[in-house]
């Protein structure tokens, strides 16, 4: 999937992946896509909840070897 | 009353009833749509009363506040009693005490897996007489926090400030414990009393006492 910016949130625990995602989205313009890589297992549910609350679109979320990859499209 | 007047009166009553029915039906529909629109446009808000000044209890207010701010909520934290410690310029004095804190898992943040998983049940009587036990426990807790990628309190607080969380100090406890305003970070928005905080809490969607 194409993306405009990547955030490496590996090794960070709640709530840092969410806070850094929010910060990274600030640097993007509407419609651009942020890729987030995280290792916090809580981030799967939290990223979805963040997207629901903020109106940014979670395009996909996947897991591989305990690493979680999210693609978030800025509102 | 002649026949004509009587007919007009009956018609008028029937008309009134019809209008009322129609208006009620429309009002229900419009009100629902209007309330939904208002709810969607409204910024959620949260107020927290932070009363604890230990390293462990410093986390909940700052974690919840920074996250709520990231979700776009308006957040205010009212720091009172020992919670004022969390507003100090220097946070290195935050400690955690396992004494009288029986739910706190006492585990070592280093060594092989089997050693880390051991739970050290040290009786209160011993904890209280071993010099430096609290300092030791605090060091271990800080190490555990770091190992798990959990942010230090100073960083979380900084993120809260950056995200526009309102930090408010309780004036009464500042005076009570003899603090000076200079002890606290300049980002504290105001020092107020209960009468100022309560109306904020009344209008908040989430209000917590920590």
Q: Answer yes or no: are the C-beta atoms of B128 and B97 closer than 8 Å.
A: no
- The pLDDT value recorded for residue B123 is 77
C-alpha dist (Å) from residue A23 to A16, A18, A36, B134: 10, 9, 12, 36
- State the best of B59, B62, B149, B164 to mutate against chain A, taking most chain A CBs within 10 Å: B149
- The pLDDT value recorded for residue B65 is 96
**Is the Cα dihedral A38, A44, A45, A50 positive or negative?**
positive
DSSP conformation letters of chain B:
--HHHHHHHHHHHHHHHHHHHHHHHHHHHHHHHHHHHHHHHSPPEEEEEE---STTTTHHHHHHHHHHHHTT-EEEEEE-GGGGGGGBS--TT-----TT-TTS----SSS-HHHHT------HHHHHHSTTHHHHHHHHHHHHHHHTTPPPHHHHHHHHHHTTPEEEEEHHHHHHTT--GGGB-TT--EEE-HHHHHHHHHH-SEEEE-
Distance of residue A50 Cα from the nearest chain B Cα, in angstroms: 6
Average pLDDT over chain B, rounded to whole?
A: 88
pLDDT class for A74, splitting at 50, 70, 90?
A: very high
- State the best of B66, B70, B151, B165 to mutate against chain A, taking most chain A CBs within 10 Å: B70
Residues of A with CB under 8 A from a CB of B: 11-16, 18-19, 21-22, 39-40, 50, 53-54
Summarised one tens digit per residue, pLDDT across range A11-63 is 998 899 999 999 999 999 999 999 999 999 989 999 999 999 899 999 999 99
Residue B185 has pLDDT above 90, yes or no: yes
- The pLDDT value recorded for residue B1 is 54
Residue B124 has pLDDT above 90, yes or no: no
- The pLDDT value recorded for residue A27 is 92
Whether residues A14 and B63 touch (CB distance < 8 A) is answered with: yes
Q: Which DSSP helix (H) or strand (E) runs through A36? A: strand A33-38
Instruction: State residue B166 phi and psi, 5-degree precision.
Output: -80, 120
Contacting residues of A for B151, CB less than 8 Å apart: 12-13, 16
- Give buried/exposed letters for B45-68 (b at 16+ CB in 10 A, else e): bbbbbbbbbbbbbbbebbbbbbbb
Neighbour count for residue A37 (Cβ, 10 Å): 15
Neighbour count for residue B200 (Cβ, 10 Å): 17
Q: Token pair 């009553």 is at which residue?
A: B13
- The pLDDT value recorded for residue B3 is 67
Distance of residue B149 Cα from the nearest chain A Cα, in angstroms: 4
Q: Please list the alpha-helical segments (H only) found in chain A.
A: 16-26, 43-54
Question: What percentage of residues in chain B have a pLDDT greater than 90?
Answer: 50
Q: Answer yes or no: are the C-beta atoms of B165 and B69 closer than 8 Å.
A: yes
Give ipTM to 2 decimals.
0.81
Contacting residues of A for B150, CB less than 8 Å apart: 13, 16
Strand partners, A9: A38
Minimal Cα distance from A48: which residue of B?
Answer: B71
| Mean pLDDT (whole number) for B79-102 | 88
- The pLDDT value recorded for residue A4 is 93
Contacting residues of A for B72, CB less than 8 Å apart: 53-54
- The pLDDT value recorded for residue B96 is 85
Contacting residues of B for A14, CB less than 8 Å apart: 63
CATH entry, A5-73, from 3.40.50.2300, 2.40.40.20, 3.30.110.40, 3.30.70.920: 3.30.110.40
Domain ranges of chain A: 5-73
Q: Is A36 labeled as catalytic in the residue annotation?
A: no
Whether residues A15 and B150 touch (CB distance < 8 A) is answered with: no
Residue B126 has pLDDT above 80, yes or no: no
């Amino acid at each position: 999937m194409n993306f405009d910016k990547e955030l490496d949130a590996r090794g960070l625990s709640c709530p840092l992946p969410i806070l850094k995602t929010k910060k990274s989205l600030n640097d993007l313009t509407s419609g651009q896509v942020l890729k987030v890589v995280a290792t916090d297992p809580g981030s799967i549910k939290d990223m979805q909840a963040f997207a629901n609350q903020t109106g940014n679109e979670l395009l996909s979320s996947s897991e591989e070897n305990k690493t979680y990859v999210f693609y978030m499209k800025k509102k | 009353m002649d026949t004509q007047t009587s007919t007009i009166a009956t018609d008028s009553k029937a008309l009134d009833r019809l209008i009322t029915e129609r208006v009620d039906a429309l009002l229900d529909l419009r009100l629902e749509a209007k309330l939904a629109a208002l709810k969607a446009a409204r910024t959620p808000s949260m107020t927290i009363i932070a009363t604890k000044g230990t390293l462990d209890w410093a986390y909940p207010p700052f974690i919840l506040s920074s996250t709520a701010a990231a979700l776009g909520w308006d957040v205010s934290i009212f720091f009172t009693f020992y919670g004022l410690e969390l507003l100090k310029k220097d946070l290195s004095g935050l400690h955690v005490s396992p004494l009288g804190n029986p739910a706190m898992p006492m585990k070592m943040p280093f060594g092989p897996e089997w050693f880390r998983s051991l739970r050290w049940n040290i009786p209160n009587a011993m904890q209280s007489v071993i010099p430096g036990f609290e300092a030791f426990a605090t060091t271990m807790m800080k190490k555990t926090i770091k190992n798990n990628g959990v942010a230090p309190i100073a960083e979380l607080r900084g993120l809260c400030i950056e995200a526009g969380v309102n930090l408010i100090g309780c004036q009464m406890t500042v005076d009570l414990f003899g603090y000076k305003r200079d002890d606290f970070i300049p980002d504290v928005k105001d020092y107020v009393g209960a009468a100022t905080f309560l109306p904020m809490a009344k209008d908040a969607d989430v209000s917590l006492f920590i």
